[in-house]
Amino acid sequence: MALMTWNNSYSVGVQSLDKEHAALFEILNGLYDAMKKGQAQVVTGPLLNKLVDYTRRHFATEEAIMTNTRFPKLAEHRTEHHSLIKQVEQFVSRFERGDVMLSIDLFNFLRDWLSTHILKMDKGYSFWMNEHGIR
C-alpha cells in the first residue's frame, strides 16, 4: 500500500507542476516501500538524495513560473520551500552519519508537509497562474 496516492484533489491546474507533484509522491512511496520491505539501509541514501534533488528542481520550476507571472506571494513560497529543503537536508545528513533511521515519523512529516503544501500553499497559485495563461 502506498503512503500517498496522487489524485485530482491535489491538482493545481498546471499540468507540468501536477506531474512533478505526482513524481514526488512516487519517490516518497519508493522510500516507504523500501522501509516496509526491510531494504531501507540499501536504498535510503540514494532515494533521499533523489527526493532532495527532485524537490529542489521542482521548487525552482515553481518559483520561475511565479516570477514570470509576478505572483504576489512568491516570497512566502520561497520561504516555505527553503524551510522544507533545509529540514530534509538535515535529516539526510543525520541519516548519513548514522544518527537516525527511517521512521514512520519521518514519513508522516513528509506526507503531511507535501499534502499540506500542495493543498494549501500551491492551490493558492492555481487561479493566478491559469489567469496568466499557465495551464
Residue 35 lies in a domain: no
Cell of 98: 548514522
Is 84 within the bounds of a domain? yes
Q: Which domain holds residue 61?
A: 43-135
pTM, rounded to two decimals: 0.88
Amino acid identity, residue 28? L
Q: Which comes out higher in pLDDT, residue 51 or 135?
A: 135
Q: Is residue 7 part of a domain?
A: no
Q: Which three cell numbers stand for residue 27?
A: 519517490
Q: Is residue 118 domain-resident?
A: yes
To which H or E segment does residue 24 belong? helix 15-36
CA distance 87 to 120: 19
pLDDT digits (tens, 9 = 90+) for 25-82: 998 898 888 878 877 666 777 877 888 899 999 999 999 999 999 999 999 999 999 9
Q: What is the CATH number of the domain that holds 132?
A: 1.20.120.50
Residue 33 maps to a domain: no
Residue 115 lies in a domain: yes
pLDDT confidence of residue 41: 65
What domain count does the chain have? Answer: 1
Q: Name the average pLDDT for the chain.
A: 87
